Structure 1
Amino acid sequence: MPDFDPTTYAIPGFVALVLIEMIWARFRNPSAYEPRDTLVSLAFGLGSTVAGLLFGGFAVWVFINAYEYRLFDIGFAWWAWPVCFVLDDLKYYWVHRAGHRIRWMWASHVNHHSSQHYNLSTALRQTWTGAFTFGLLFALPLVLLGFHPAMIAICGGFNLIYQFWIHTEAIRRMPRWFEAVMNTPSHHRVHHATNPRYLDRNYAGVFIVWDRMFGTFEAERSHEEEPIRYGIVKQLGSFNLLWSVFHEWVGMLGDIWRAPWKHKLSYLLREPGWSHDGSRETSDMIRARWLARQGEGEPEGVPAEKPIAGPRRAA
């Protein structure tokens, strides 16, 4: 099987589309781009590429060795490619969902959500530290089923390419049938929002049907009804690249260091915003309190006047 990375070939297209969107934003939505923010996003993309070269070999080693224990010899049959693509996207849904619900994984994934702007350059905010989480384990079932690691990598590359174009405000809605099945800019704007209604929703990569199936779908409201606020619940407030990359690792390790022994592991594996003394809020708590204020629910044990976020809460 030849070595083929589809994202490498897509880079010129990414650059061209960013330039086109910049021109559109200049006349239609000047606030879509902020020069310093865009530079940080570009640096994220470059650093992520370097990190992949440095640490990607470990994942390859794991998958190649696991492939020796495969249940079936699927090979590279034509029909295996679309099946692998769909299953890889299902895998992406769950690893993405875990990335929002397990703080150890969130410390890596938060990088992608740290911009308060939503444009095509935001898609380049890819993690430098993904190799230090256990996200690769989510792909092992595909390897053990018999899908070759190269096939999984290529399908994952096309999945990443698809997700690039949905990071834009230039496209409001796609046709209804498309919105029902596929991930779109409208659906993904919800995912990047910090509004309580939208927190931890729409984890899809390519197919939004996974969110509809597993109860995490939320439709975007009109801008007039509810303008979207992008970023993380407690915004970075800085364009420092290294702080942008590592701030949640610093916060998490600090919490583990200060926590009583019986709670240390929880700060690693519980959801972002969890605290042993109740001093902070998770996304579920924020949403529940918001729903109570809207008269849509009556959650128990959620203080009505608690601040939106604690000192290191990110969502």
Structure 2
Amino acid sequence: MRAVTISGPGPSGKLSVSSLNPPIAGQRDVVITVAAAGVNRADLLQRAGYYPPPAGAPDWPGLEISGTVRRVGPGVSRWRAGDRVTALLEGGGYAEEVVVRESQVLPVPDGVDLVDAAALPEAACTVWNNVVDVGRLQPGEWVLVHGGSGGIGTIAIQIARALGAHVATTAGGPERTARCAALGADLVIDHREQDFVDEVRRATDGRGADVVLDLLGGGALGDNVRALARGGRLVVIGMQQGRRGELDLSDLLARRGTVTGTLLRSRPADEKARIVADTEQHVWPLVADGRVRPVVHARIPFAEAQSAHELLESGEAFGKVLLVP
């Protein structure tokens, strides 16, 4: 099979198409013929040598795919050859075929194109786990989503809105802020022109956000805490502004706030299975009835995978970038 592999790992790492042996299904595994693979910032970090795959995962990148079941292991009962599915992976999605535990496979939601479905698994699982499970978002509360124009942000806006929350988000420039508003955000903050702490406090009559979903990391730590309401929950899932930040603990204590950091890729198999099951139970109905839809910026061939990474790095994409074999 063809796969997009990393040649020369490190900051100057490049992607190229290689020929590899096809995967073999274990007892509880599913082999899927890939229709598309989602491109995530974790893939960029892996290519640059900063985010190695977990033990046992393929060396090539790709954390989510959509496609058609090709074959299943002898212990698999739910899936059959020909089923249209999506899957959450530890790696290896940039390939014509993948093998994945049956517990990390989901059906393509009703009404969703098979290719576009690749934009859902990573973002939907990340948002449900971090905003609802960890962040405990409730109807009527305010959530601040950083990076509303990204692959995770576009899904987070829609899920939070569907759950009855008020949504504030950040984006850069009038076109992107308008598109975030069209997805359902109540407040869209142009981070190039506006201070998100001031804007959130103004919109909430001084209370602040009950939940903050943060992809920025260290550079935004202090401001994120200042944006919290009393009893607010800051959930950090990325480090786009660095690994280290400075925090005035008096701000956190005064708000009786919590700061939690999470990763999805390295979770144990049983935790991933629970997150995938919860996502199918709670998010997939929202997708099927049209309240949540994948937002796809571009479909790019495997042979141009390096360009796909450069597009994501540029910050120009709105929603997901997908690779297609």
TM-score per shorter chain, which class?
Answer: under 0.3
TM-score, normalised to structure 2's length? 0.23
Structure with the higher strand share, 1 or 2? 2
Normalized per residue, the structure richer in helix is: 1
